[in-house]
Structure 1
């Protein structure tokens, strides 16, 4: 009770209504069964890798629930900005092509927050994507993401560690894991494409996790 009182009193009084509704979704504990959870698998494309200086170019996401990839329940948004990094544009080509409708950062964040709700968020090397979005939220006077997170890079190692065929200290790329699972990489280096590839990987991981009867609580102990 005391912790909840402090949590409520730490919140800014001028939060927009949509963000206050978002915060209210975290009052109840989530179910333990992996199958019934709503997972949002997401990815960001950015101008670079500096959390403080670089900006989000696009966010892509897709839902997995009831052991099904909800292809129709997807999310994609492109953000307006002035930052230009020719080195990263060589990879994703977003600013160079400028063929997408782009939203102001605040509006894009609102759409994303409404989409994710209190779902468990999943990404490959999730710490970076999480930090980029949290920094954008901070710039707009909002609180950090309240969701729980899972990282497919860590889960991949955790599901295979018993075989001893895996280097505990190796950092596995999305490409390496996709290749191991025979997943096509045609749409690599777009936010929506990488989110879809990560979702396919996560489906493979869920099957292994479910077979071992591992509960959500245990998965969420891993630090990202």
Structure 2
């Protein structure tokens, strides 16, 4: 018994929010309902997921063929790393008017929002990597959610090669989507959700 207890003490105890997130993927408690989809985007200090950090996260829920505008998340993070040269792109100032939270709290809220949803993003692998790096700094594992890339969807729809990428602005033009909120996380998440639904409906 003492030996058993000694080994048990070495087991890592994960925080409750992480255990709650992982439990969403427990097949034993899954209900036979249509999978929730969440379109999301991150604004960052740069494009290197290993050294850059998240400035803002935007996400919006999709149910069947409808974007639920009441089911959304918008977070701004405290900027321990500040790159003034990127401000003209995302418009987020270090001491701006937005209420900012630390990275750990932002990740907790993000996991609580997405749960086991399928994640949709434009070049989504980058945004997933940014979240995973934040999780790594917290001593946790990677996201378990399945993800869909709207760029890859458009490539398959048009029969394009893997290296023939289409930008979000270009897709807005193709699908006649207003892009007034471009380069805000919540704005890009909403635009991505619209593009996802347009492509999904064209495949029907």
Map 1:33-72 onto structure 2 (within 5 A): 36-72=34-70
Map 1:72-87 onto structure 2 (within 5 A): 72-87=70-85
In structure 2, C-alpha distance between the alignment counterparts of 1:13 and 1:67, rounded to whole Å: 42
Q: Is the 8 A contact 2:41 2:121 kept in 1?
A: yes
The aligned counterpart of 1:142 is 140
Map 1:190-205 onto structure 2 (within 5 A): 190-205=184-199
Residue 66 of structure 1, CA deviation: 1.9
Residue 31 of structure 1, CA deviation: 9.1
Corresponding position: 1:24 with 2:23: yes
CA RMSD of aligned residues (A): 2.0
Larger radius of gyration: 2
Q: Is the 8 A contact 2:132 2:142 kept in 1?
A: yes
Residue 97 of structure 1, CA deviation: 6.1
Q: Provide runs of 4+ in structure 1 moved above 6 Å.
A: 29-33
Gaps of 5+ in 1: 1-11, 212-224
Corresponding position: 1:182 with 2:145: no
Question: CA 1:178/1:97 → structure 2, altered by over 3 Å: closer, same or farther?
Answer: farther
The aligned counterpart of 1:106 is 104
Residue 13 of structure 1, CA deviation: 2.4
Residue 14 of structure 1, CA deviation: 2.1
Residue 167 of structure 1, CA deviation: 5.5
In structure 1, C-alpha distance between the alignment counterparts of 2:40 and 2:97, rounded to whole Å: 22
The aligned counterpart of 2:4 is none
SS in 1 for 2:51: coil
The aligned counterpart of 1:151 is 149
Gaps of 5+ in 2: 1-10
In structure 2, C-alpha distance between the alignment counterparts of 1:153 and 1:73, rounded to whole Å: 24
Instruction: Give me the TM-score of the superposition, normalised by structure 2.
Output: 0.89
Question: CA 1:169/1:49 → structure 2, altered by over 3 Å: closer, same or farther?
Answer: closer
Q: Is the 8 A contact 1:178 1:184 kept in 2?
A: yes
In structure 2, C-alpha distance between the alignment counterparts of 1:24 and 1:107, rounded to whole Å: 19
Q: Is the 8 A contact 1:31 1:37 kept in 2?
A: no
In structure 2, C-alpha distance between the alignment counterparts of 1:118 and 1:203, rounded to whole Å: 20
Q: Is the 8 A contact 1:89 1:96 kept in 2?
A: no
Aligned length: 193
Instruction: Give me the TM-score of the superposition, normalised by structure 1.
Output: 0.81
